Chain A
Amino acid sequence: RKEVEQDPGPFNVPEGATVAFNCTYSNSASQSFFWYRQDCRKEPKLLMSVYSSGNEDGRFTAQLNRASQYISLLIRDSKLSDSATYLCVVPTGTASKLTFGTGTRLQVTL
Chain B
Amino acid sequence: DTEVTQTPKHLVMGMTNKKSLKCEQHMGHRAMYWYKQKAKKPPELMFVYSYEKLSINESVPSRFSPECPNSSLLNLHLHALQPEDSALYLCASSRAGDEDTQYFGPGTRLTVL
Q: Name A residues whose Cβ lies closer than 8 Å to a Cβ of B.
A: 32, 34, 41-46, 49, 87, 91, 95-98, 100-103
| Size category of the binding interface on chain B | 20 to 34
Cβ–Cβ < 8 Å partners of B31 in chain A: 96
Q: For residue A105, which residue of chain B has the nearest CB?
A: B40
A36 to chain B, nearest CB (A): 8
Q: Are the CB atoms of B109 and A41 closer together than 8 Å?
A: yes
A34 to chain B, nearest CB (A): 7
B111 to chain A, nearest CB (A): 13
Stretch at the interface among B11-19, B64-72, B74-82, B94-102: B94-102
Q: Are the CB atoms of B104 and A45 closer together than 8 Å?
A: yes
- With beta carbons under 8 angstroms apart, the residue of B48, B50, B100 that contacts A34 is B100
Q: For residue A97, which residue of chain B has the nearest CB?
A: B45
Complex: how many Å from CA A95 to CA B100? 8
Cβ–Cβ < 8 Å partners of A46 in chain B: 101-103
